Amino acid sequence: TTGFKGRDFLAETDFTVQEIRTILEVAEELKRQQAMGIYHDGLLRAKTLFMLFYNQSLRTRNSFEAGMTQLGGHAHYLDPDKIYTPALEGKEVAYSTERVSDVARVLSRMGQAIAIRCYGDPVDWEYGGAHNLIKEFAKWSDIPVLNMEDDIYHPFQGLADMLTVKEEFGGFKGVNFTMSWAYSPSVHKPRAVPQSAILFATMLGMNVTLAHPKGFDLAPDIIKQCETYAEDGGGSFRITNDFEEGFKGAHVVYPKAWAPVTLFQPPVGINDPKKSQEIMDSFKSWKTTSELMDTADKKAIYLHCLPADRGYEVNNDVMDKTGGLGWRSAIFDEAENRLHVQKAVMSLLMK
Ligand code: CP
């Protein structure tokens, strides 16, 4: 557990596979001990995590807040509209914004970490707009910067997903992990969750299938990184455009909506929402049903980062089958695990 102190957590690629395994082990240990009534409120006593949310949140905000309470510190919520909204250099507007470089240096004098959620406008997705903002914070901050989801990565969600898989299957080797696109009436869905999930799943050596309709590709550099991780990690990585094929024999199915970048570029373009919606609507059959779950492994688990579009992405009988025989939904274990992995990372980086 040495070598973590003071580091940022902006993306999966910031840590080695061994370091990710250590984080998961610490998370398991903290979770186990807490279940036995052993508390860890001395680990980050009197320390402050600043949390800056450009977007809404249920799970991320509350798991970081509860986590800091359990570790003996405090998580402080910052609304960008209620401070002088941090902006990249050259983008400031007089009286309403302040440079990221100033905000990061001020907060560094007061607390022990800065966490940021900012997923940008869809037109910025190919250019890493929001991720660049978080990187700018990291450049100027003297304390760790944590990525609570940007336009490319959602690393803490990915860690919670991996902890859930590990608890369920005892490890990663031989586990068939399918990340799939799912139908949603909204065309504006970030790609951070699927990208983080496939990065971690290939890094940890699972057999990973990415299933999505044609045109819903994830970022090419992320796909390349997954191929490298699969080669190095002893697992595998493949892409299919067949939804049903993705379910067959899967131990983990993780269907989640994301927007295709091509819908925001010519010839369709963001200025043609009707056409974009028509394209989205042609994939309504990409919905998770109990019949599809029956084609997965008998002990399969259904994952979703939440919130899910019930009735569109997935039927209620899948989401709510959290017990009983056969396959089951592990979505609430997954949500709880946000707390445990974040406590592990904060303990290691902020101690
Ligand atoms: N999964 C997740 O990040 O949830 P929130 O948007 O509620 O934080």
Q: How far apart are CA 38 and CA 340, in angstroms?
A: 14
DSSP letter string, 216-270: ----HHHHHHHHHHHHHHT-EEEEES-HHHHHTT-SEEEEE----GGGGSTTT-T
The ligand 1 atom at the shortest distance from the C-alpha of residue 335 is 1
Q: How far is CA 175 from the centre of its chain?
A: 20
Q: How many CB atoms lie within 10 A of CB 285?
A: 10
At 251, list the tokens: 């131990």
pLDDT at res. 263:
73
Contact 86, 103 (CB under 8 A): yes
Top mutation candidate among 56, 57, 62 for ligand 1, by most atoms within 8 Å of CB: 57
pLDDT at res. 200:
98
Cα of 218 from ligand 1 centre, angstroms: 20
Top mutation candidate among 64, 151, 305 for ligand 1, by most atoms within 8 Å of CB: 305
Tens-digit pLDDT profile for residues 43-68: 999 999 999 999 999 999 999 999 99
Contact 141, 276 (CB under 8 A): no
100-108 helix and 129-140 helix, angle to the nearest 10 degrees: 40
> Against a cut of 0.90, is the pTM above it?
yes
Q: Which are the contacts of 274, defined by CB distance < 8 A and separation ≥ 6? A: none
Q: Which amino acid is at 178?
A: T
pLDDT at res. 127:
46
Instruction: Please report the ipTM that was assigned to this predicted complex.
Output: 0.99
Q: Is the CB of 196 under 6 A from ligand 1?
A: no
pLDDT at res. 124:
58
DSSP letter string, 41-57: TTTTTT-EEEEEESS--
Q: How far apart are CA 197 and CA 195, in angstroms?
A: 5
Nearest C-alpha to atom 3 of ligand 1 is from which residue? 60
Question: Which of the residues in the chain have pLDDT under 70?
Answer: 121-128, 264-271
pLDDT at res. 92:
78
Question: Scanning the structure block, which residue is given the tokens 């450049």?
Answer: 139
Closest to 305 (Cα-Cα) out of 296, 295, 314, 294: 314
Say which DSSP state 11 is in: S
> Would you call the peptide bond into 267 cis, given omega within 30 degrees of 0 as the criterion?
yes
Query: Widest CA span of the chain, in angstroms?
Result: 61
Q: How far apart are CA 79 and CA 85, in angstroms?
A: 8
Q: How far apart are CA 182 and CA 244, in angstroms?
A: 12
What domains can you pick out in the chain, each with its CATH number?
12-152+338-350 (3.40.50.1370), 157-336 (3.40.50.1370)
Say which DSSP state 281 is in: H
